[in-house]
Amino acid sequence: MVFKFPAEEWQRLVSPERETWQNPKELLNATNPTKEEVWADLGCGPGYFTLPLADRVKKVYAIDYDERMLDLCKYRAESMGLKNIEYVLCTEEKIPLASEEVDVSLLANLLHELVNPEAFLEEVRRITKPGGRIILIDWQPVPSPAGPPLEKRIPKEKALNLLIRMGFRHLSDLNTYPYHYLLVFENTLT
């Protein structure tokens, strides 16, 4: 059984304490988003990464399987006056975006929640332009102040091997966060 974050505990996802160990600014500094890029924040939750990204890019697709999370993200974005975010309800089998729609797909703290990661990653491949980036952030299986149970976390080597086996080209391994790995891949196949 996979771990699914309970939507009713969304406040934990945007807490100031989280910024001490997973600050969105560090992601922005490490990945250098530009005003010309369109990003997909897959598993966006209440918009912890979506909202800071919206300040830096042309457009962000906030994508989640939980409509409550999308509503929270939208409410928070509207309160900040952000207008370049589109909200998309998805399933693991289908992301309702056009093929090659985004330059960068961000999967932050999501891989461990997927029942069928291969099927979901095929959808990520489809929506990401050839040569586009896939940024994968997930929990290291080490004690941390928050996160899923240790036994539900996917080790970095396993995640890396999964994406390489699926044909994504590994570009970099960024040591940005103390309890997470951050892997960057190129979408090499269509």
Q: Can you give the CATH number for the domain in which 66 is found?
A: 3.40.50.150
| Domain presence at residue 79 | yes
Check pLDDT > 60 for residue 41.
Answer: yes
Helices (H), 91-167: 117-127, 156-165
Residue ranges making up the domain that contains 158: 35-186
Q: Residue 71's CB: how many other CB atoms inside 10 A?
A: 14
Query: What pLDDT was estimated at residue 3?
Result: 38
Query: What pLDDT was estimated at residue 5?
Result: 52
| Domain presence at residue 70 | yes
Give the number of domains in the chain. 1
Q: What is the pLDDT of residues 46-104, one digit of tens each?
A: 999 999 999 999 999 999 999 999 999 999 999 999 999 999 999 989 999 999 999 99
| Domain presence at residue 5 | no
Q: What is the pLDDT of residues 93-147, one digit of tens each?
A: 999 999 999 999 999 999 998 999 999 999 999 999 999 999 999 999 999 998 8
| Domain presence at residue 127 | yes
Indicate the pTM of the whole model. Answer: 0.91
What are the angstrom distances between the C-alpha of 11 and each of 15, 62, 115? 6, 18, 25
